[in-house]
Amino acid sequence: MSGKFVIDKAKNGQFYFNLRAGNGEPILQSELYVTRASAEHGIESVRKNAPLDERYDRKENAKGEPMFTLKAGNHEVIGVSEGYSSTSAMENGIVSVKKNAPDATVQDNTK
């Protein structure tokens, strides 16, 4: 099973997306977007930038867990991972984004 982007609406009416792996696990979440079109543009940016290792910032979240962000060419963050239990689990998450994002389908839950 291949990955998919799922577009949802936040309580405040803004849009966001999650990239989910083939097993349904979320592997990347976007920021909030004012319009659906902006969220769709964000998905295209993730597809384009996901294969490029230099676009990933490996860091720790507030709990000290390994996590990563994916940045566009202009250095804007376009996706954030969850916190992982180990650095190797985080690296596997990055591999999963690289593998799933380019060909992922889009499921729009806002329509």
Distances (CA, A) of 83 to 4, 104, 105, 110: 20, 22, 25, 27
- How do beta strands 26-29 and 15-20 pair? antiparallel
Q: What is the pTM of this model?
A: 0.93
CATH of the domain at 31: 2.30.29.80
Domains held by the chain: number: 1
Q: What does each of the 111 residues of the chain score in pLDDT, given as a tens digit?
A: 689 999 999 999 999 999 999 899 999 999 999 999 999 999 999 999 999 999 999 999 999 999 999 999 999 999 999 999 999 999 999 999 999 999 999 999 998
Give residue 30's pLDDT.
97
- Domain residue limits at 26: 4-107
